[in-house]
Structure 1
Amino acid sequence: MSFDILIRNGRVVDGTGNPWFWSDIGIKDGRIAAMGDLSGEDGEKVIDASGLVISPGFIDIHTHSDTVLLVNPTGDSHIMQGVTTNLIGNCGGSVAPVSEPMKRRYEVMLRRYDLEIDWTTLGEFLEKVEEKGTSLNVASLVGNATVRMAVMGMERRAPTKEELKEMKDLVAEAMEDGAFGLSTGLFYAPSGYASTDEVVELAKVAAEYGGIYATHIRGEGDPLIEAVREAIEIGERAGIPVEISHHKAMGKRNWGKVKETLRMMEEARRRGIEVTCDVYAWRAGSTGLTATLPHWVHEGGLERLLERLRDPETRQRIKREMAEGTPGWESIVHEIGWENVMISGCPGHREYEGKRVAELAEEKGVDPYDFAFDLLIEEKGRVWMVIFGMSPEDVATVIKSPLSMIASDSSAIAPRGPLGEGKPHPRTYGNFVKVLGEYVREKRLLTLEEAVRKMTSMPAQKLGLLDRGLLRVGNWADVVIFDPDRVASRATYLDPHQFPVGVEWVIVNGVVTVEKGKHTGARAGKVLRKSAIRYGKRL
């Protein structure tokens, strides 16, 4: 038999977690056609994997690539580290259903990328991705914040019965368009305006279609225990598998709490609640600077937020709540301080990038709160930050847990054009390879087989991707070939736009997309849709 691609002489780590084994792999028509001793066969393209490891393509279950896929369809920062599949729509923010409040929220960003929202539903967006072509496979969740904005705008109140029904209908529509579940970002507004009961009602709809519930919980610092308890409760009441996103304990006084939260997950599983988590391999997180502000400040949208920051009396109230914390809301600044907040993206002041807020405020001779508020006003909210708040020991504890899988919490960008600006979190270019280089090879926290399972079959199983995530005959040929002795991240907080070393080949749906460490430009990715089955009947 002649194959399209024949991979010889590699050590196969197949994604199951079982020990590696020697095997050739023959690929034909986008799928794995044969494995074993294929010495008598030939291929149109033959790859010699001597000294290298062959594994399934990595599945990133928590990304924010969304509209970035239309700006950078080659997905460089992810594909170059071996990621072949992105799950988008996380943290409550999906690309649909589109509404005027959503358009206003993203107007400046979209203008910067010369991008127009010309879709309304998730189905229309996914069709647009297919038309454009992408190097990555793409699957999506539907976000409760996006759904809420479509029905209630940025209002901070409970929905009426009619509004709740409308939101449930929008979730059902997205699930019928192929969404893999519901996401929330309860730490953020307006996602966090939703009560537990409201989220349960939406999650029940996703559950009817066999979806998952992925959540950036309500708090990852002081409220961590209660927030994990809420996530488990939602899973139990809605009858839906739970994925706790980028699990961590933020702020020094909360370090060590992940042992308790992991114990809570284990206990929930004993009660029949399918709960797992994902984690990135860094001790810092990243989000927008507006996330430091109390939820009520966001009510009414960005213009109202900026008005509140301009008002002296309101500004003092905001300062006080950020400094002291308030019940039901997590204050990042209260937990870690301005000295641990680094500006990572600021279009109007590139010279601020890579510096801490406390440092910049001291240089200006102003209070750090005033510096941050004035910067947000000047930049119209377009400021991003990296926040240093986790302990390396906690990161290692979560990575090692059998309940965790690896995810980047980043976008598939490129070191060129508008996406190459700023200092994005280095996980964007190096999360998966950092696990392989540091936590497997150097620290030996995980075996290679365990690490690969957390990046491949474990997220595939969570999402119900039955023909991806494992190297087996009949599966789609998403394959990574890397050097276990060299693979490593080169990205740093101050110089993040650097591709990794050691990833030699990446194959997506049987098409070579990275060859000898270079992107080929191929766009062989597929849009993955969950089958729209409700109550056992195909719709």
Structure 2
Amino acid sequence: MNDLRIRGGLVADPEKKTLVEASVTISDGRIVHVGKDEGGSTEVLDATGCIVCPGFVDTHMHDEELDDPHSVERALLRQGVTTALAGNCGSGPLLGTIRPKRQTPWLNLGYLTGHGILRESVGVNDIYRPATPDETTKMQVLLERELSEGSFGLSLGLEYVPNTDPAEIAALADIVAKFPHRWISVHIRFDGPRCLEAIREAIDIAARHHVRVQISHFGSMTAFGQLQTALDMVDQAYATGTDVTFDCYPYAAFCTSVGSAVFDPGFEERWNKDVGALEAGSGKFKGQRLTKTMFEEMRSETPTALIIAHVLNEPEVRTCLRHPRCAIASDAVLRNGEGHPRAAGTFPRGLRMLREEGLSWPDALAHATSIPAEMTWLDRGTLRPGSTADLVLFEPERFTDKATFSDQLAPPEGIRAVLLGGRVAVREGTITEEPLGTFLLRR
């Protein structure tokens, strides 16, 4: 007898671009039937008034705080994310460090190995110093071990280690290229005026090393008047066989640590904005727009505190999101449960924007499901017999983000249920009492 039957909803298949009335039957954690209601299940989940779609796949988020395994994961789960990949922007931890802390995640969770952690592990603690050849060789050995043990790839945060030698990157890219279905995510070296130079560097890494490169949060790096040119560069490279992908979150403000190189002297001129465009995302001044004095105090006394920079061009962000190969990704990051509303609102907000831009529901949902799954070789993002029963049921007229810059973790409205492996993980906005996710390893 089957375990669960979802009936009464419209089933969205992002791969086939269809939206049809159908029931979904689940047994042993997998979808066994999509179509006419066959009956016979021990439990029925009513989806009347809902769209039923694959769980959302977040290929770029952060869950590296060792002692907080809950805040980011739960915020993502409540907005429909069922699979996520952490460790981006060069910050990914070593598996031996993070895996004991994430034995029972709230969603399906995998990690990339961070370039920053590799550098620290071999003694390169100065973010402005290139590694020596000997240190680079040691990083290669460590990265190969991590990939052998199940890391999904390498993450680079080149804006955070701005003097990284191209030879250091090349040596690590050669290791990644040895492993099937691994990739390099790149937070590019420059945002703003020099972003096109940095986009070219990322494309060249992919072309020279025959490895997939995912350019991270594309909008936050290029939405300063140069986004369309950057997209054209990527499209041209892709058309000639270079394996380059990208993601974007649906906000006109980015978020990162105040002590990072992003805020080195000259940032105001780079963005043509003064310090009043910055908002404290965590810490003593949370929620306040900053003065020069407040900024300098945060940078010197609490360098890991988060800053929200309201400096991006929203029409360009929308242009990026609707590109047919762009994945919605949250770039969720929190400090002590505080941060940017993207941790709680990215997917409903991004899907709403895509609908406003004229996309059908199946086309919009592809940006949150099948596109990111294909980008990362994940067996997710589909709704067909044999697929893992990670699903979202949402009411399309009510589905919207509620998280704001003042209430950053407010859950969205309109989600009736989120399923992980055929089990209900979220019902009417409430998370079940126990985590149902799996720690993912790439073998």
* TM-score bucket of the superposed structures, by smaller chain: over 0.9
Q: Tell me if the contact between 1:15 and 1:470 (Cα under 8 Å) persists in the aligned partners.
A: yes
Q: Tell me which structure has the larger Cα radius of gyration.
A: 1
User: What displacement does 1:70 show?
Assistant: 4.9
1:57 aligns with 2:51: no
- Residue 514 of structure 1 is matched in structure 2 by 426
Q: What's the counterpart of residue 485 of structure 1?
A: 397
Match of residue 153, structure 2, among 158, 170, 181: 181
1:258-273 aligned within 5 A: 258-273=227-242
Secondary structure of the corresponding residue to residue 199 of structure 1: helix
Conserved 8 A contact 2:411-2:429? no
- Displacement of 1:249 after TM fit? 5.5
Which string of whole-angstrom CA distances, capped at 9 and with x for unpartnered residues, describes residues 280-323 of structure 1?
0110000111125677xxxxxxxxxxxxxxxxxxxxxxxxxx2x
TM-score of the superposition, structure 2-length normalised? 0.94
Offset from partner CA, 1:157-200 (integer Å, 9 cap, x none): 333332221111111111011111111011113xx332222112
1:372 and 2:295 correspond: yes
Deviations 1:240-260 (A, max 9, x none): 111110012669xx6331100
Q: Aligned pair in 2 of structure 1 residues 26, 294: CA closer, same or farther (>3 Å)?
A: closer
Question: Which aligned pairs between 1:116-515 and structure 2 lie closer than 5 A?
Answer: 122-123=95-96, 125-130=98-103, 133-155=104-126, 156-189=128-161, 192-210=162-180, 211-248=182-219, 255-291=224-260, 322=265, 325=266, 331=267, 334-335=270-271, 336-346=273-283, 349=284, 352-358=285-291, 368=292, 370-379=293-302, 381-411=303-333, 419-420=336-337, 422=338, 424-440=339-355, 443-466=356-379, 468-515=380-427
Give the match's secondary structure for 1:231: helix
Going from structure 1 to structure 2, the CA distance change for 1:378 and 1:516 (only over 3 Å counts) comes to closer
8 A contact 1:57–1:456 mirrored in 2: yes
The aligned amino acid for 1:431 is T
Question: Which amino acid letter does the alignment assign opposite residue 268 of structure 1?
Answer: A
Alignment-mate amino acid for residue 155 of structure 2: S
The CA deviation at 1:446 is 2.4
CA distance in 1, matches of 2:297, 2:397: 48
- Mapped partners of 1:408, 1:215: distance in 2: 15
Shift of 1:332: 5.3
What letter is aligned with 1:512? V
CA contact (8 A) 1:224 1:249 kept: no
CA distance in 2, matches of 1:32, 1:184: 36
In structure 1, C-alpha distance between the alignment counterparts of 2:132 and 2:407, rounded to whole Å: 48
Cα distance change on mapping 1:344 and 1:333 into 2, 3 Å = farther
Q: Which amino acid aligns with 2:240?
A: R
Contact 1:94 1:141 in 2 (8 A): yes
CA drift of 1:463 comes to: 1.4
More deviation in 445-454 or 167-176? Answer: 445-454
Matched residue type, 1:480: V
Q: Summarize the Cα distance change of 1:223–1:479 in structure 2 as closer, same or farther, 3 Å threshold.
A: same
Looking at structure 2, the residues matched to 285 and 294 of structure 1 have their Cα atoms a distance apart, in angstroms, of 12
Q: Say which is worse superposed, 262-271 or 157-166, in terms of deviation.
A: 157-166
TM-score, normalized by length of structure 1?
0.78
Distance 2:138 2:261 in 1: 31
- Give the Cα separation in 2 of the matches to 1:229 and 1:154: 27
C-alpha distance in 2 between matches for 1:54 and 1:475: 14
**Aligned mates of 1:151, 1:294 — CA distance in 2:** 26
Change in Cα spacing, 1:89 to 1:74, as seen in structure 2 (3 Å) is: closer
* Aligned residues between the structures: 440
Identity of aligned residues (%): 31
Partner residue, 1:46: 44
**Pair 1:486–1:213, CA change in 2 (3 A):** same
Higher helix share: 1
Paired with 1:340 and 1:427, the residues of 2 have a C-alpha distance of: 18
- Alignment deviations for residues 35-74 of structure 1 (CA, whole Å, 9 cap, x no partner): 21133x2222211111110000001000001336853189
User: Could you tell me how far apart the structure 2 residues matched to 1:282 and 1:526 are?
Assistant: 29
Partner Cα distance (2:72, 2:235) in 1: 39
- SS of structure 2 residue aligned to 1:44: coil
1: CA distance, partners of 2:106 / 2:263: 38
Residue in structure 2 matched with residue 86 of structure 1 by the alignment = 84
Amino acid across the alignment from 2:374 = Q
Alignment of 1:18-29 (within 5 A): 18-29=17-28
Q: State the Cα distance separating 1:353 from its structure 2 match.
A: 1.8
Quote how far apart the aligned CAs of 1:474 are. 1.1
Report if the CA contact (8 A) 1:15-1:453 is conserved.
yes
User: Which segment is superposed worse, 454-463 or 13-22?
Assistant: 13-22
Distance 1:16 1:372 in 2: 47
Q: Is the CA contact (8 Å cut-off) linking 1:17 and 1:450 kept in structure 2?
A: no
Look up the SS of the partner of 1:498 in the other structure. Answer: coil
SS in 1 for 2:151: coil
Q: Deviation of residue 483 (structure 1)?
A: 0.6
Structure 1 460/197 Cα, relative in aligned 2: closer, same or farther at 3 Å? same
CA shift, 1:85, in A, is 0.9
